Amino acid sequence: MSELHFKSVMPVLRVTDLDTSIAFYQGWFGFKMVWRAPNDGGGEGCILEREDVAVLLSTGDHLGKVPAFTGTLYFNIDGVADLYAALKDRVEMVWPLEEMDYGTLEFGVRDPDGYMLAFAEQRS
């Protein structure tokens, strides 16, 4: 197992309107589209990237008929207070900017399909 090395994880999210989701991630968080193409079996997909973070969005039914995810996608970032100030009155907030007991300053939002996104900055 010593040769095993995890480099990154890329969530794949089912979205209802690809253009709306692309605009959300590009406009609010500065992601850039690096790939877009039809999915095998229907729908369309794209990969958005920012620094070492990637998100794949898809309208394909292979991910189910409707967007669904029971967790939270955490983005570890620097400058969380500035991002919160820029977004707080413009997107759906799930929880406000707050210091957490486990050592982060963070807040949560929902994307256009209801996915919960958290933005956290390590404080300790």
Same domain, 29 and 55: yes
84 and 47 part of one domain: no
pLDDT at residue 41 tops 90: no
pLDDT in tens, 46-80: 999 999 999 999 999 888 888 888 999 999 999 99
Indicate whether 76 and 123 sit together in one domain. Answer: yes
Rounded distance between C-alpha atoms, residue 124 and residue 122, angstroms: 6
Domain of residue 124, CATH code:
3.10.180.10
Has residue 21 been placed in a domain?
Answer: yes
Do 77 and 120 contact (CB within 8 A), yes or no? yes
- Give CA–CA dist 74/77, Å, rounded: 9
- Full residue range of the structural domain in which residue 124 is found: 69-124
Binned at pLDDT 50, 70 and 90, residue 124 comes out as: confident
State the pLDDT confidence band at 108, using cuts at 50, 70 and 90: very high
- The sign of the dihedral angle between the CA atoms of 71, 15, 107, 34 is positive
Report the pLDDT value the prediction gives residue 65, as an integer from 0 to 100: 86
Q: How many domains is the chain built from?
A: 2
Q: Are residues 94 and 43 in the same domain?
A: no
Q: What is the pLDDT of residue 1?
A: 58
Instruction: State how far the Cα of 97 lies from the Cα of 84, in Å rounded to an integer.
Output: 7
